[in-house]
Chains A and B, each alone.
Chain A
Amino acid sequence: MQQRTRRVIAAAVVVPALAVMAGCSGGNGAGDADSGDGKVTITVMGKPAATNTAAVELFERQVAEFEAANPNITIEASDVPWDAKTFATRLAGGSAPTLLRVPLTEPPALIERGQVADIASVASKLDSFTDLNPRVMQFLEQGDAVYGIPEKSYAFGLVYNRDLFTQAGLDPDSPPQTWDEVRTAAKKISDATGKTGFGEISTNNSGGWHLTGYDYTYGGKMIDQAADGTWTAAFNDDASREVLQMWKEMRWTDDSLGDNVLGKQEDLVAEFTAGNVGMWVTAPPDVYPNYIAAGGKPEAFGAGPMPQGGANATLAGATVLMVNATATEAEKEAAVKWIDWRALRPNYDLAVAAETAKASAADGLPVGVPVAPIFTAEAYAAYRDAIAEYVNVPVENFAPYTASLDKLEYVPEPAVASQEIYAALDPVVQSVLTDENADIDALLNDAEQRVDQILAQHK
C-alpha cells in the first residue's frame, strides 16, 4: 500500500511538471516583427567586424540614412558571419536574421531545403533588377522564383606568386593557360625553389569542390537530370579521370604538390601568403582581401585564367543576399529595399560608389579588386571610372584573369546536394593524393554509387 501511495504522489508531481514543459516548448517566434502600425524591424547580416572601425562607421551611416529615407523600417545589424551549423536551428527558434549574407556554396542547398524565401514579387520592382548580370542571376532564379540578389560574384581562376615565377624562370605576366602548362610550371617552381609548385586542398569538402571545378574545364559535369526529374551521378567519365591522373602524376611523379595535401582553403591562403606555394586554384578576387589582411605583398599576387583542359569553362558562383523563409511580406520588402541601398546602389549609383571607395581606401582596405561584375559590362565600366582615383590594387596583375572572364563559360555548382556530393568526393581526391597506388577507376566507381544513393533522396 505504501509503495502504491508513493507512486501516486510521484506521478502527481511529475506529470504536471512534464505538462508544464510541453506547454513551454510549443511556441514559435516567427513573424512577430510586424506590428499593426506598418512599422517593420529587420535583422540583417553583413555589418563589418567591430575592429574595422572605418567600415563600421560607413555602414552605420548607411543604416542611419536608410532609416531616415524609410521611417517605417528599423535595421538591426549583426556582424556575426554566416554559419551553416547554427542557421537551421536559429531559423527554427525564430532567431535567424531576416537578411542572410551567404557565401558561394550555400544557395543551392538553402533553396532546396526551403529555408529561404522567394522574393520575386518585391525584387522585380527594383529599378536595377533587370540590369543584373544574367550569368550570375542564373544561380539564383528557378523558373519565376528569385531566391537572392548577388552582392558580388566569382569565377575560379589561377592565383600565383609572381616572385616564385620569376625565381623559377617563368614569365609572371603570362601565367599558364592549360593544365599541361600548369604541370610544367609547377615542376619548374618546385625544382628551382624547393617550394610547393601547385597547392592543393582536399578536406572539408574542398577536394570535391576543386574536382568539380577542374572537371568542368575538361567538359565534364557532376550530375545529370533525367526527364522524370531524377538525378544521377555523371562524373565517372574521362574528364574526371584526366583530372585525377594529373593530380597523381604531379604528386608522385613530379613531386610538385608538396607534402601537405590535407588542408582546406584557409590553410592554403596562409601558405600562399607566406610565399610557400607557387600556384593554386580559387576565386582570385575573393582571396585577395584575405591575402592582404594576412600581410601578403600586393605586387607578388598574380591572377590568371582558370587552366583549361579543352572546354573553355569555369566554375562560378556568388556571395548572395537572401531572405529567410519565415519572413513576412513586409519584412521581405524591407529587406530588398535594404539590399538595394547597401549592396546594389554602390555599383550603379556612381556618387555612392566613389564615396564607398574613398572610405575603404582611407581605411587601407583593397579598393578596385577586379571582379566578375554583377551588373552589365557597361555599368561595370562606368563604376570602374567612378572609383578610379581610389584604386589601390595592382589591377594589372589581375589582367590575365579578367581577360579570361568574358571568354569562359560560367558553370554553376551541382544544383542539388552539392555539399553531400563534395563530401563523397573528398576521399577520392585524398586517396589519389596520399596513396601512390590508388586505383582511380575503382575510386570513381565507388563514389558514383555513393552519389547515386544520395541523389535518390533528392527529386
Chain B
Amino acid sequence: MTVTTDRLRGTTPVRAAQAARPGPPRRRSLTRRRSAIAGLVFLLPTFVVFGYFAWWPIIQSAALAFQQTDLVTAPEWVGWNNFEVLFSDPLLPRAAVNTLWFTVLSLAIGLPVPLVCAVLISELRRGGTVARVLAYLPVVIPPVVSVLLWKVFFNPGESGVVNSLLGLVGIDPLPWLQSPGTAMPSLVIVATWSGAGTAILIYLAALTGVSTELYEAAELDGASVWQRIVHITLPQMRGVILVLLLLQIIGAIQVFTEPYVMTDGGPANATVTILLMIYRYAFLFGNYGVATALSLLLAVVLIIVSAVYLRLTRSWSTR
C-alpha cells in the first residue's frame, strides 16, 4: 500500500503541471474529444465480448428471477412469486446459518494457518523451495479428486485413515462426515487443506516486499521475534491480508464442491449450503426461477458484505 501511495504522490505534480500549461482551449478540447473517441473504439471489442458473455446474461438472469420457465415454452412473469416460494422454504434459514458457520470456521482456520505457514517458510534457512512446493501441491490436485480422497480418509470406524492416525495417539474414532455435529468441521478441514497453498504463496510474496532494514532497526532496538511480527510483519502486510480475507469470505460463502461431493448436504441437513440449494432448485427440481432468485439474493448479500467490509477496513488498510 505504501508503494502505491508513493507512486501516486510522485505522479501528481507532473499531472498538475501539464494541466497548468497554457494553450489554446479550442484545440485542447478537440484533441481530447478525438482521443476519447479513439479510446472508445478500442474499447468496443471489450464492450461487445463482456456485454455478450457477461452483462447481457446477468441482465437476463436477473429477469429470470421474476419468471417461471421450463425452458421449453415461453417464460411467464410471476412477480415476486419465486421469492415467496424461497422464503417459505424452511431449509433457507438452515442453509444460511450453515453457510455462515462454514464461513466462520474456515476463517478461524483458513486465515491464521496459511499466514503462520508463510512466516515459518520465509524464516527457513534451507529447503524453502521444497516447502513452497509441498505447500502448493494440494492446490494442483483437482478439487473433486481431493474431496473424494478425503471422503475415504474420513471413513468412520477404526479402520478409517484419519481415525487410525488418531488411534495412534489414543483418541477414539470420530464419526466425521457421518454425524451432524462433526460433518461441517470436516468439510472446513478439507477446504482449508486444498486452499491454503495459494494463500501461502501470496503471503510469501508479500513477505519479500517487507524491507529488511526495518527488521534490522528493530533488532538493534532490542525487539523480540514476537514484537517484530506484530509491529513490522503484520502491519506491512495488512493490505494483502485484508484483500485475501475478503476473497476468503466471498469464497467461503460460495462453498459448493465439498458439501456436494462429500455429504450432499447431510447428515440431516447439517451441511446444506446456499449454493447447494441453488443447485438443487435448478438442476434437481428444474425450478430455474427460484434458483435464480436465490442466486440474485446471494449476489446482493455478497455485494453488501464486500462494501461493508471495505468501509470498515478502509482506515486500517490505508493507514
Interface, chain A (partner B; CB < 8 A)? 1-2, 5-6, 9-10, 13-14, 17-18, 20-22, 24-25, 84-85, 88-89, 91-92, 109, 113-115, 202-205, 259-262, 264, 325-326, 417, 419-420, 423, 426-427, 430-431, 433-435, 438, 446, 449-450, 453, 457
Contact between B70 and A427 (Cβ–Cβ < 8 Å)? Answer: no
Q: Is B283 an interface residue (CB 8 A)?
A: yes
> Which A-chain residue is minimally distant from B45 (CB atoms)?
A17
Closest CB in chain B relative to A257 CB, distance in Å: 11
User: What are 6 contact pairs spanning A and B, CB under 8 A?
Assistant: A259-B157, A426-B265, A430-B266, A434-B179, A434-B267, A457-B85
Indicate which residue in B29, B51, B179 contacts A2 across the interface (CB closer than 8 Å). Answer: B29
Interface of B is mostly: helix
B284, closest chain A residue (CB)? A419
Q: Tell me the B residues contacting A by CB distance below 8 Å.
A: 29, 32-33, 36-37, 40-41, 43-44, 47-48, 51-52, 56, 60, 70-73, 85, 88-91, 155-157, 175, 177-180, 263-269, 280, 283-286, 288
The reply to whether A17 and B72 form a contact with Cβ atoms under 8 Å apart is no
> In the complex, are the beta carbons of A113 and B286 less than 8 A apart?
yes
Residues of A within 8 A of B264 (CB): 203-204, 262, 264, 426
**Residue contact A419 to B285, C-beta cutoff 8 Å:** yes
User: A202 contacts B157, CB within 8 Å?
Assistant: no
Docked complex Cα distance between A109 and B283 (Å): 12
* Of the residues A22, A85, A203, contact of B266 by C-beta under 8 Å: A203
Question: Quick one: which of A13, A259, A260 contacts B40, CB cutoff 8 A?
Answer: A13
Q: Which residue in A9, A423, A427 is a CB contact (below 8 Å) of B280?
A: A423
How long is the Cα–Cα vector from A283 to B198 in the complex, in angstroms? 46
CA distance A350 to B280 in the complex (A): 44
Give the Cβ gap from B165 to chain A, nearest Cβ, in Å.
Answer: 17
- With A113-B70, A114-B73 already in contact, the answer to whether A88 and B286 are too (CB < 8 A) is yes
A91 touches B71 (CB 8 A): yes
CA distance A457 to B284 in the complex (A): 16
Q: Which A-chain residue is minimally distant from B155 (CB atoms)?
A: A260
A426's partner among B33, B44, B266, B288 (CB-CB below 8 A) is B266
Given contacts A18-B51, A84-B284, A420-B285, contact A453 B269 (CB under 8 A): no
> Which A residues are in CB contact (< 8 Å) with B71?
88-89, 91-92, 115
CB distance B267 to A262 under 8 Å?
Answer: yes
- Compute how far the CA of A454 lies from the CA of B270 in the bound complex, rounded to whole angstroms: 21
Contact of A20 with B29 in the complex, beta carbons under 8 Å: no
Which A-B residue pairs are the 3 nearest by beta carbons? A92-B71, A203-B264, A430-B267
Query: Which one of A14, A204, A325 lies within 8 Å of B47 (CB-CB)?
Result: A14
In the assembled complex, the CB of A113 is this many whole angstroms from the nearest CB of chain B, namely 5
